[in-house]
Amino acid sequence: MVSGSNDSKTPPIVSLAAGGVAGAIEAFTSYPFEFAKTRVQLRSQKGIPTPKNPFLVITQIYQKEGLSALYKGCSALVVGSVAKDGVRFLFFDQIKHAFADPETGTLSPLRNLAAGMAAGVVASITAVTPSERIKTALIDDARNEKRFRGGFHATQTIWKEHGIAGLYRGFAGTTLKQASATAFRMGTYNILKDYETKHDIKQSTLVNFANGSVAGTVTTLTTQPFDVIKTRSQSAAGASTVEAVKSVLLDYGVRGFWKGTTMRLGRTVFSGGILFTSYEAAVKVILPLYEGTKHAVGVEPQ
């Protein structure tokens, strides 16, 4: 499990609800960094350098296009993040509990990573790929054709033109990214928590934030190529995974697969801390309500 004591299992409904709350908070607060990173990764005119400082990109977009531009596609990401992180925490908690050592309640580092990978695949299929496709298409469209009026209109248009396959454009890259990112993010976070539990390090908001930030850093550095491929695949025009890989190599060479690393690192360090801190806080609020409801109807909580 991600939260709670080692001898108790977080109920599935609590994991789902707390993960959804945490995902929404994380997605909204860190979205300008996500926007800047996506803009940098999308294909641009050759020979025109793209700044590596996320604050510079954000400032330039704000000055030229206004505050609303920095939140273009945000609603799609927030909705997707509620589903993504709800599912991700739900499945990770259940998988982690099933694989945990019955005596210590902990997992080996390898099993922590495997549990995160499985949760990432499920999240990609159920929520992440369609929401990321809409978000990326909106950001790309805003700088070119400007034919999408919003997230719902973009969804309708893509569905009408390409069917469900259009909403799952970039599925391979997204799933690879989600499987690896969830494995490293959830795995690293729980490895740190297990270490702290063994050494009697008291959990606090600061410790949770630090753990989440470390997990976010590890995740970014190890999974950036998948993120670049996913972004190219999910542009407004769309591209196959092979086409996306070829376009990155053509434009920037191998180094292009780490395009936007600084932008994403700025976001994941910040968002990783927010995500896990929000999740732990949400569990503390939701779990007593859940247990109270179960007692009220005469059923013992799980």
Instruction: Give the CA-trace dihedral at 6, 8, 11, 12, to 10 degrees.
Output: 40
Is residue 1 one of the residues assigned to a domain?
no
Nearest to 161, CA basis, from 133, 142, 139: 133
Does residue 233 fall inside a structural domain? yes
In a domain, 95, yes or no: yes
Q: Is 33 helix (H, G, I), strand (E, B) or coil?
A: helix
Residue 301 lies in a domain: no
First and final C-alpha spacing in the chain: 14
- Domain annotation covers residue 5: no
Does residue 24 lie within any of the structural domains?
yes
How many Cβ atoms sit within 10 Å of the Cβ of residue 97?
Answer: 17
Collapsed DSSP state (helix, strand, coil) of residue 67: helix
Residue 2 lies in a domain: no
What residues make up the domain containing 196?
12-296
Q: With beta carbons less than 8 A apart as the criterion, state whether 133 and 158 touch.
A: yes
Q: CA torsion sign, 78 to 207 to 10 to 95?
A: positive
Q: Is 28 inside a domain boundary?
A: yes
Contact, 251 vs 43, CB < 8 A? yes
CATH of the domain at 76: 1.50.40.10
| pLDDT per residue as tens, the chain (302 positions) | 444 433 357 788 898 899 899 989 988 888 888 777 777 777 565 556 666 676 787 888 888 888 887 787 788 778 878 887 888 788 777 777 777 777 766 677 787 788 888 888 888 888 888 888 888 888 888 777 788 888 889 889 999 998 988 889 888 888 888 888 888 888 888 889 888 888 888 888 889 889 988 988 888 888 888 888 888 887 767 778 888 889 889 888 888 888 878 777 877 778 878 888 899 899 999 998 888 887 665 555 44
Provide the token pair at 250.
């053509």
In angstroms, the CA 259 to CA 224 distance is 8
The total number of structural domains that make up the chain:
1
How many whole angstroms separate alpha carbon 34 and alpha carbon 70? 9
Q: Which residues contact 210 (CB under 8 A, 6 or more apart)?
A: 273
